[in-house]
Amino acid sequence: MSTPGMRRDWSPDSPATDRVWAQAIYAVIERRLTLRQAAQAFGL
């Protein structure tokens, strides 16, 4: 089941995977960072 619209980007060459986003969002909650600060910290 690989429809282009529903495709999840788990490939290593993807700039920002869901896992990285999850870590960044967790950092926002945990460290009270702004989303912009977290994005910069995680290279998003």
Q: Evaluate if residue 1 carries a pLDDT over 80.
A: no
- C-alpha 14/C-alpha 9 separation (Å) is 7
**Selected residue with higher pLDDT from 18 and 3:** 18
Q: Is 0.85 surpassed by the pTM of this model?
A: no
Residue 9 is predicted with a pLDDT of 54
Per-residue pLDDT of 6-42, as tens digits, reads 455 555 566 678 888 899 888 999 998 888 898 898 8
- C-alpha 4/C-alpha 31 separation (Å) is 35
Residue 4 is predicted with a pLDDT of 54
Residue 2 is predicted with a pLDDT of 52
How buried is residue 23: exposed, middle or buried, by Cβ count under 10 Å (0-12/13-18/19+)? middle
